[in-house]
Structure 1
Amino acid sequence: MTQTDLYRWLLESTCASSAAIGLVLLLRRPLRAAFGANVAYALWSLLPLAVLAASLPARVVRVLASEAGVTVGAGAVAGSAPLADVAGSAAWLLSAWLAGAIAFVLWQVALQRRFRRSLGVVHGGADGHLRAERSAGLPAVIGLRARIVLPADFEIRYSACERELILAHERIHLARRDVLGNALLAALRCVYWFNPLLWIAADRFRRDQELACDETVVTRHPHARRVYGEAMVKTQLSAMPAPLACHWFGGHPLKERIAMLKHPGPGARRIAVGLVFAGVLVAGTAYATWAARPAVRVVDAASAAAPSHQRKQAPRPVVARNEQTDTKARVDIQSRMMAPPKYPSEAVAGRITGKVVLIIDVAADGSVADSRVETSEPAGVFDQVTLDAVKNWKFEPAMENGKPVAGRIRVPVTFEMDRDEGAQAPAPGGNA
């Protein structure tokens, strides 16, 4: 993956994840009211699926296509065009993103270690659970190995019935592998640390996680709501959040959880209907995210080898002419308008030659929907003038079932110096 590909993926996946977060934040409360907390919690699966959909390869459509080539002479001079280094700008942005991601990873590791140290000495108990020296934030499920850690005064602080309910809550976390969900959320926060929506989503996700566990506990123990609420009140919160733990921390939605105990839980049928609705919504949204990406069209070797009466005719070369500079550009695809880029004046003065390879998304009407630099030599010298020219290009779109369709094409653009006959041509990227 090139820097340009990484930059493009980061932008696309950020947009996809932001849209997913916005949708979940909009629907979580109505779904909880209609179908229960477990359905609202299941809706959060849309976030990683949206990122995955934006990361998968785009649809590939096999068509008979060709590559275009453009040659620009030094007569097409852009007198005031700056040498904008687009590739360099992307590199700086990616460097800043990587530095932030590494810093966020280190911060998450430090939070986990600090919480672990705050528990004091942790040792195994006779019941198979771990016992901590201290009590803040406990009971909890901690670490990727997902072990239940109980406070030192567990038997003293809680009654027998309260202990049973508390352990039932923690075992639900274990059964659902909620710690892995928290780890995935921590990983997404490291990648998209710059997105404020993800910071909001992290808090709401942990709230919905605890509410879903509470709902399951009271569904299984419908006559123990009051005892369960009293056990919650007795629990000591921790001031130290931990990424890889299901624990009681300072931002814990204790009031919201206790308030939920006053309302009757949804029945099994209503939960099933809600889960089906959430599943269809998540799957449909993830598919729409993937399908919205432009399709990649590749050469169909079978079509190229077909008999001439069955094969689509390959487009013939044409010549596009810049009326102001009389500069010619050789084009290997049919074009209604392809004015060549201006040759930067600084490059002319330094007798610099080079080549820019573009990836162009062509809309069904032949206009340029999007373009990006795949490679450039020398980097950044000809990028901006080439991208500026591409905006006004017009192509003959690919045809599928007799209808024009959107496609993607690679266009190399070569910048050559005009020279007298017999003069030696400078090397690409070098001086005469």
Structure 2
Amino acid sequence: MTSAELLDLLLETTLAGSAAILVVLASRRYLRRMFGPGLAHAAWLLVPAAVLAVLLPAPEAAPLPVATLHAIPAATAAVTVFRPAVSAADGAAAVWGLGVLLATMRLAMQQRGFLRGLGTLQRRLDGSWQASACAGLPAVVGLLRPRIVVPADFDSRYTSTQRALMQLHERTHIRRGDLHVNAVVALLRCLFWFNPLVHAAARRFRHDQELACDAAVVARYPHRRRAYGEAMLHTQLAAQPLPLGCHWGFSHPLRERIEMLKLTPKSGPRIAAGIVVITALAVATGAAAWAAQPGRAALQDSGSIAAKDGNAVDGHVVGLSVRIDDSRPMASSGRFTPGREQVFDYDHEGQRWEVALTITPADAGTYTVATRILRDGQLQAAPNLVVREGEDAGITVGERTDDRLVKGLELGLVVRRADAQAVDDTRIQNPPAYPAAAAAGGVGGSVVLLVDVDAAGKPTLVQVERSEPAGVFDAASIEAAYKWRFDPEIRNGEAVPSRLRVPVRFDPPVADGTPADGPAPG
């Protein structure tokens, strides 16, 4: 996974998780009042449901109907939807990784500080462990071998009834798997350290966890509410938190916990209704996150320039203009090998469109063009064209209204020989120089450039969006790009500055000096 893909995934999971957190924060008190603390605590399942839903494959769209073939002028414009540059993505990923490390160290220090603060532990006859300290106890610690730890004055401070209730509380945590759940919460806090909502939600989750555990104990011994409440008041608050455990201290809402003791346990039908509500919320939240996720298909390395160890050779050139869903058209051009399929990739609003062309010379001045148009890997159309050299042709796949594309893909293309070069073919006249060390070592790769052009089509800024392998072909690609000229974007009849994404592929040369796989489209 590249840095850019990692950041995209973090962004998607952060948005989905934050939305689910807001839903739970807004509804937890209502759910507690209507269905009890246990189901209010279960509502936090909405958060992992939303996050996990984002990791599922995106929904497949139904194929679009195929419209008629028609001739259209070859439009020229620039790509306007981009991902961050590689350097920025790598830097952001490094900052995130450092934050994860620091957050993990912080929680580990809190855990160690709490455990060291317990002092010497001694095994009791009832199976629990007695600490030499008192703060924040009783508590249950240990993921693999959970242990109930009671304070040094456990026998003198609490009555036998209170002691039994408090130990039952801690055993309930163990039985419910709360320690492992808290470990997952701690992991999420480390991974999403940059999101303040996650930290706020973690505190409220622990509050709801204690309330749910209290409710379970009181439901079992309803006639001992008073003793249970007095035990809470006698508990001394801890000086620091316990990330991977459960204990009675550290800002737990004692007022809410005592007020909860006054509530009457919910009836079976009410609890059943709550389960249905929570399940429906979890399913709806997960489905919404899954349906809203953008496609994460990576930009393929079949690109617009074939860089060779030497000068460009004569051949054939195809120029493309692609418009998707009434967006501004995207222009690209490049060489092609007769009879060999070349693929052009376009990302648009989370969908990946592929235009695969197989162009074969026919009679003098004519070409047959076999096309395959795919959306997210699904074939949408496969028409065949016969075009004359230098003349425009086009294909529309989708829906049109009043001679305007509403939904789908509109393709314009023109085929000519490479020796009939125009200003916008400078990418073919000036291919990147293949680095000598990479050529000698048989190293190939690709670079995706982001090129800012002025109204005359001259590059003003060239940046590397991503490269493979990193840094090997960057300088050669940037140097060549400043020699290129592009068709500027036309807006309201006037040329305006714009930005383009230009993929560049480097095929390692073989003995005869030609790329191993032949030239790539441009």
By how many angstroms is 1:280 displaced? Answer: 2.1
- The aligned counterpart of 1:166 is 166
Question: What is the 5 A alignment of 1:304-323?
Answer: 319-320=319-320
Distance of 1:295 and 1:349 partners within structure 2: 32
Residues 321 and 174 of structure 1: CA distance in aligned 2, closer, same or farther (over 3 Å): closer
Per-residue CA deviations over 1:192-228 (Å, capped at 9, x if unaligned) read 0000101110110000000111111111111111111
By how many angstroms is 1:186 displaced? Answer: 0.2
Residues 25 and 135 of structure 1: CA distance in aligned 2, closer, same or farther (over 3 Å): same
- The aligned counterpart of 2:250 is 250
By how many angstroms is 1:321 displaced? Answer: 6.9
Q: Contact (CA 8 Å) 1:35, 1:274: kept in 2 or not?
A: yes
- The aligned counterpart of 2:503 is 413
State the Cα RMSD in Å: 4.0
Distance of 1:294 and 1:40 partners within structure 2: 31
Residue 290 of structure 2 corresponds to residue 290 of structure 1:
yes
Distance of 1:55 and 1:182 partners within structure 2: 22
Per-residue CA deviations over 1:295-336 (Å, capped at 9, x if unaligned) read 6899xxxxxxxxxxxxxxxxxx963379xxx99446752653
Distance of 1:14 and 1:244 partners within structure 2: 23
Distance of 1:130 and 1:116 partners within structure 2: 13
Q: TM-score, normalised by structure 1?
A: 0.69
- The aligned counterpart of 2:97 is 98
Q: Contact (CA 8 Å) 1:85, 1:379: kept in 2 or not?
A: no
Q: Contact (CA 8 Å) 2:318, 2:413: kept in 1 or not?
A: no
- The aligned counterpart of 1:265 is 265
By how many angstroms is 1:189 displaced? Answer: 0.3
Letter in 1 for 2:25: L
By how many angstroms is 1:190 displaced? Answer: 0.3
Q: Contact (CA 8 Å) 1:321, 1:329: kept in 2 or not?
A: no
- The aligned counterpart of 1:107 is 106
Letter in 2 for 1:95: A
Question: What is the 5 A alignment of 1:33-432?
Answer: 33-59=33-59, 86-144=85-143, 145-294=145-294, 319-320=319-320, 328-329=333-334, 332=343, 333=355, 335-336=410-411, 355-356=446-447, 375=467, 378-379=473-474, 413-414=503-504
| Structure having the higher Rg | 2
Which protein has the bigger strand share?
2
Residues 295 and 101 of structure 1: CA distance in aligned 2, closer, same or farther (over 3 Å): closer
Letter in 1 for 2:411: R
Residues 24 and 338 of structure 1: CA distance in aligned 2, closer, same or farther (over 3 Å): farther
- The aligned counterpart of 2:14 is 14
Per-residue CA deviations over 1:40-62 (Å, capped at 9, x if unaligned) read 10011122222222223334679
- Among all aligned residue pairs of Structure 1 and Structure 2, give the percentage whose two residues are the same amino acid: 42
Distance of 1:247 and 1:104 partners within structure 2: 22
Per-residue CA deviations over 1:370-409 (Å, capped at 9, x if unaligned) read xx96746745966xx9xxx9xx89xxxxxxxxxxxxxxxx
Secondary structure at 1:224 match in 2? helix
Q: TM-score, normalised by structure 2?
A: 0.58
Residues 379 and 177 of structure 1: CA distance in aligned 2, closer, same or farther (over 3 Å): farther
Residue 24 of structure 2 corresponds to residue 24 of structure 1:
yes
Per-residue CA deviations over 1:97-155 (Å, capped at 9, x if unaligned) read 10010000011110000000111001222111111111111111112132111112212
Residues 379 and 220 of structure 1: CA distance in aligned 2, closer, same or farther (over 3 Å): farther
Which protein has the bigger helix share?
1
**Comparing both chains, which one has the higher relative contact order based on Cα–Cα distances under 8 Å and sequence gaps of 6 or more?**
1
Residues 148 and 36 of structure 1: CA distance in aligned 2, closer, same or farther (over 3 Å): same
Per-residue CA deviations over 1:144-183 (Å, capped at 9, x if unaligned) read 1321111122121111111121112111101101011110
Q: Contact (CA 8 Å) 2:142, 2:244: kept in 1 or not?
A: yes
Distance of 1:338 and 1:46 partners within structure 2: 49
Per-residue CA deviations over 1:349-372 (Å, capped at 9, x if unaligned) read 9979995469xxxxxxxxxxxxx9
Q: Contact (CA 8 Å) 1:131, 1:152: kept in 2 or not?
A: yes
Q: Contact (CA 8 Å) 2:84, 2:465: kept in 1 or not?
A: no
By how many angstroms is 1:234 displaced? Answer: 0.7
Q: Contact (CA 8 Å) 1:60, 1:295: kept in 2 or not?
A: no
By how many angstroms is 1:344 displaced? Answer: 12
- The aligned counterpart of 1:73 is none
